Amino acid sequence: MLVRSDPFRQFDRLAEQVYGTIARPAAMPMDAWRDGNEFVVEFDLPGIDPANIELDAERNVLTVRAERRPATGPEVELVASERPRGVFSRQVILGDALDTGGITASYNSGVLRLTIPVAERAKPRKITVSTDEHTAVSPGDDAKVISATAEDRQPVSV
């Protein structure tokens, strides 16, 4: 059996784990969308124990940190090791219009789903228009002030 030795193979494997490849990026893949008055963000985290997922929200930065530990011990000789292991982290910058205090998280079938409500101050709202008393000065009489409301005014025909 011919075995070809490549001293740089370990460096290549390390670089793939740190920087990822085109087929498998190092960062956790994410989808995000708005659904009514909330934003939904999903991260793919297959094979991660939910106890090894940490979520932190500080100001408008959301940090997701997950760890995939090896399934085998150090005494086992691995024949192939292609699944990434270690700590994965991703930060998402949230807009000021989102309520970071109301974030909820669920994990199902390897997908972490975060639901972030839109802050009350950022929700669209109707603004009513009110009328105030208007002051009018009659022509030719600078000293006389006439007070009128919108109901008192009559259209004038010329």
User: What whole-number distance in Å separates Cα of residue 108 and Cα of residue 100?
Assistant: 22
- Decide if 21 contacts 15 (C-beta within 8 A): no
Domains of the chain: 9-122 (2.60.40.790)
The pair of three-digit structure tokens given for residue 79, joined into one six-digit string: 């024949």
- Decide if 42 contacts 112 (C-beta within 8 A): yes
The reported pTM is: 0.61
**pLDDT in single tens digits along all 158 residues of the chain:** 444 556 666 666 666 666 555 445 456 899 999 998 899 999 999 888 999 999 999 988 999 999 888 778 888 888 887 777 888 889 999 888 888 889 999 999 999 999 999 887 767 778 888 887 665 555 554 544 444 454 554 555 54
